[in-house]
Amino acid sequence: MSVLAQPTDAELHNRLMAGDEAAFTQVYRRHKDVVYRFALMLCGASGLAADATQETFLLLIREPARFDPARGALSAFLLGVVRNLVRRGRDDLAVAAPDEDDSAADGSHDLTPLATLLAGEALSSLQQAILSLPFAYREALVLCDLQELPYLDAANVIGCPIGTVRSRLNRARARLAELLAEHAPLRLETTL
Amino acid sequence: MTPDEKTLQAAYAPLRQELATAVPPAGQEAGLLAAFRQQHAPVSRWQRLVQWVRQDRGLYLSLGGSCVAALAALMWLRPMLWNETQALQAAPAGTLAPTASTELTTAFFPLGDPARIEAAQHARMVRVSMPRASLAAYGLPVNPELADEAIEADLLVGDDGAPLALRFVRGKYQLI
């Protein structure tokens, strides 16, 4: 039984430029989650992240020639676009109005109510701490630590040298550790 | 890996798990596909022209339009300009003659011996202001209503600083 090779992003992009709807669908399904998650971690609000994701793919529809396969991967291009959208228009709003629903509880049905509560608080603290980082640190941390992109790819997305990504990531981690230490919840026994 | 980094990596785990479940709204794909179809739908020639103008060609079109408008204005004004030029050229020496587009001048009136003008190696022109009444000294009519006002003149000055010739200047629509 032979396995059909998946078309590359460059091939799909060529077909997409020619008006092939199936190619666009494939591109969207391949990259939508990564783009959305990156936007979500940058702005902290699912509605804004969804809007930014939609605008990113709309740009690909309307101006597909903006992506040049010779200059990098399609994923890096899309992440770069959504990054710019969030950075230019939505960053301040997003931090001011993050999602209110505490979705951390969703994946912890098998925990005790107290453990669920503490896990949710810890996750919420981490999210808030990441959102309070300066944008340049935040994007490096999200790309490298949460989305686990190689430094080179992160540098392509951000549009800076790889050394800058490394230094920003180090500073972001140090700042995040400080923030988490400052806002660490008191131990249960000390509150009793 | 430092203790801080280990702590962070441990803290990341639940966030990564949560992030792995985050997906864009389900309806987004349908909306984007509709936009894609609209973008690639066959368009009429007129729509293509409008699209072409809306994109980056608007600038070129506006520049082209400006050129066409300027040409049309020139064609429209040509008879008037032509008549004025003809009238000025037909005027006798010593009266008005066209020079620059913004002002009219008389011909030069020699001051003293005209041979000095030909003999001068170098000369320079100096714009001066004179009493309007001095027009009469050169046989030019003077408007009594404006007789008290000054009039500009170009003085041709020789190497030795002596004036060689004089011409009167007026604005294009200014009365002498």
- Check whether residue A63 and residue A133 sit in a common domain: no
- Check whether residue B98 and residue B71 sit in a common domain: no
Q: Which two tokens stand for residue B129?
A: 């202001």
Q: Say which of A32, A104, A119 has its CB closest to residue B24.
A: A32
Query: Do you know the residue count of chain A?
Result: 192
> Does pLDDT of A192 surpass 50?
no
Q: Say which of B5, B22, B40 has its CB closest to residue A19.
A: B40
Burial of residue A164, with CB atoms counted within 10 A of its CB: 0-12 exposed, 13-18 middle, 19 or more buried = middle
- At B145-173, the pLDDT tens digits run 787 888 888 888 887 888 888 888 876 54
Angle, helices A74-85/A21-43, rounded to nearest 10 degrees: 50
Q: Which two tokens stand for residue A63?
A: 């101006």
- Check whether residue B83 and residue B130 sit in a common domain: no
CB contact under 8 A, A58 and B32: yes
CA A117 to chain centre: 25
pLDDT at A12: 93
Q: Is A103 on the interface with B (CB under 8 A)?
A: yes
- Assess if residue B40 is contained within a domain: no
Last residue of a domain, one of A75, A99, A123: A99
Question: Which pTM does this prediction carry?
Answer: 0.56
Return the closest-CA partner of residue A23 out of A8, A5, A45: A8
- Residue numbers of the domain that contains B85: 46-90
Last residue of a domain, one of A52, A83, A99: A99
Give the residue ranges of DSSP H helices in B22-161: 28-40, 45-52, 58-90, 115-119
- Residue numbers of the domain that contains A94: 7-99
Q: Which residues of B touch A122 (CB under 8 A)?
A: 11, 14
Ranges A132-146, B120-134, B137-151, most confident: A132-146
- Check whether residue A142 and residue A168 sit in a common domain: yes
Residue predicted with more confidence, B140 or A12: A12
As for how many domains chain A has, the answer is 2
Name the least confident of A134-138, A185-189, B149-153: A185-189
Last residue of a domain, one of A72, A99, A126: A99
- Assess if residue B117 is contained within a domain: yes
- Check whether residue B61 and residue B130 sit in a common domain: no
Residue A98 main-chain phi, psi, to 5 deg: -70, 165
- Assess if residue B54 is contained within a domain: yes
- Assess if residue A192 is contained within a domain: yes
- Check whether residue B99 and residue B143 sit in a common domain: yes
Q: Is A173 on the interface with B (CB under 8 A)?
A: yes
Q: How far is B66 from chain A (nearest CA, A)?
A: 29
Q: What is the CATH number of the domain that holds A20?
A: 1.10.1740.10
- Check whether residue A119 and residue A176 sit in a common domain: yes
Q: Say which of A33, A61, A177 has its CB closest to residue B36.
A: A61
